[in-house]
Structure 1
């Protein structure tokens, strides 16, 4: 009796990877057999059979997981050339910012360019207000100094 049980389980392990998609009936058969054995009286024979069926159930789960991993790997190997070419195309299409040749520029031209870039960077980061805001601030300062005159000559800088 034990020999036939182990022979059936052995054949199940051998055939399960071959018919992995068709393993659902095996899972159901094993699950019902486990339920039946759990309801029976706990004898050494039923405990051994229960352990064997539970091991078979665990192996079927491992086989299912292995087959899913195999499918993902096959999909990756099939799509690898397309993925590689897409990434290569992205790298080829990447263009870095081109900078002008500064070696021919004079000191004054370089200083003006640096000041212009600094102003541009500061205004992009919000440290220098845009023209509309600047004119409103200047207008507000003129009104303030008109309403609250001081002995000093105000300088309006923004």
Structure 2
């Protein structure tokens, strides 16, 4: 039987050795082709374009929640702060006095005096109760204050 050229052990070994050397040289050259780099850059750009708006939205949502919790915390401590001062206090007065000693709203927040009922804390820390509405941009925080202690309860939108 006669061996063909491709199956000859001598030629097959030299062909394998030659291919192996070329692969080694390519790896040793160490680098990527321009096409490979462009594909990676395009994929990274697409992922960034998809992820960035979601991250910004998540950041704004977390920031809103933290500021909302800060307002609720301040409202929770308001009766005691008024009691310590010994003077009565109206929530609507924070709209007139930006530097209120009892309640300081985070930046960008405002008291919506059209949606807020007149809530008055007397010198003993008790209040008349009512609903309060705070606004930041297009988002609203509605809070119910139940007399006599005015414990704040956030109302769902």
TM-score (norm 2): 0.27
Relative to total residues, which structure has the larger helix share, 1 or 2? 1
TM-score (norm 1): 0.27
Relative to total residues, which structure has the larger strand share, 1 or 2? 2
> Which is greater in Rg?
1
